[in-house]
């Protein structure tokens, strides 16, 4: 096979892979399941969990802000797809009172810290455990996100990857209340 043919073949393969990538990233989520949850409108269980800086984060310290609590892990593809959108939302609505908090369900903090720094995450991330999972009704699949109002009550629960526009609509509504 001539070298120019090989080169064309390689370019073709890369183009197909990129097109596939754009399709995958651009398609709407198929995994969003709205659960009319029993948990909705109940008080979000308070917790104090270790953050990535050696301190502890307490949920109740954020009372008065709208909180998006995101259960995720570095090895979870759908979780990672949501994070750049959350970084944007945090930037966009910080002044109005939005606070996003990530709860990593990784087994240890090393990959989380690496990911946090590499992707310049701009909101706090704490290390989760089985107890916090159970407090929030069982985190037996990722991602799971809770939208919590200024009064500390859970308003929405999203299981699975969720379109960012859904989060944004809910957050905007709650910030105005």
130: tokens are: 């089985």
Q: How far apart are CA 127 and CA 71, in angstroms?
A: 10
Asked whether 142 and 73 are in contact (CB, 8 A), the reply is yes
Interaction residues for other proteins, span 145-174 (CB under 8 A): 159-161
83: tokens are: 């994070």
Q: Contact with other proteins (CB under 8 A): which of 106, 123, 167, 171?
A: 106
Strand partners, 5: none
Applying CB under 8 A, which part among 2-10, 56-64, 84-92, 150-158 lies near other proteins? 84-92
Residue 11 as a binder of other proteins (CB under 8 A): the answer is: no
159: tokens are: 């299981």
Residue 119 as a binder of other proteins (CB under 8 A): the answer is: yes
Q: Contact with other proteins (CB under 8 A): which of 44, 52, 59, 76?
A: 76
The least CB distance from residue 5 to other proteins, in Å, is: 20
First to last CA, the chain: 67
C-alpha pair distances (Å), 155 with each of 36, 116, 129, 132, 171:
10, 27, 23, 18, 10
Residue 121 as a binder of other proteins (CB under 8 A): the answer is: yes
Interacting residues toward other proteins by CB under 8 A: 14, 17-18, 20-21, 24-25, 31, 33, 73, 75-81, 83-84, 87-88, 105-107, 111, 118-121, 128-130, 133-134, 138-142, 159-161
């Amino acid at each position: 096979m001539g070298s120019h043919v090989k080169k064309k073949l390689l370019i073709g393969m890369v183009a197909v892979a990129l097109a596939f990538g754009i399709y995958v990233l651009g398609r709407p989520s198929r995994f969003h399941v709205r659960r009319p949850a029993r948990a909705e409108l109940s008080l979000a269980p308070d917790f104090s969990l270790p953050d990535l800086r050696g301190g502890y984060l307490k949920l109740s310290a954020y009372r008065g802000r709208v909180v998006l609590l995101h259960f995720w892990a570095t090895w979870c593809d759908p979780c990672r797809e949501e994070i750049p959108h959350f970084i944007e939302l945090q930037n966009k609505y910080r002044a109005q009172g939005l606070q996003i908090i990530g709860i990593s369900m990784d087994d240890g903090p090393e990959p989380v810290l690496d990911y946090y720094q590499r992707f310049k995450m701009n909101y706090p991330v704490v290390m989760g455990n089985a107890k916090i999972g159970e407090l929030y009704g069982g985190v037996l699949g990722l991602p799971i996100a809770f939208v919590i109002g200024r009064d500390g009550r859970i308003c929405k629960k999203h299981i699975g990857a969720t379109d960012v526009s859904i989060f944004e609509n809910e957050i905007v509504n709650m910030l105005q209340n």
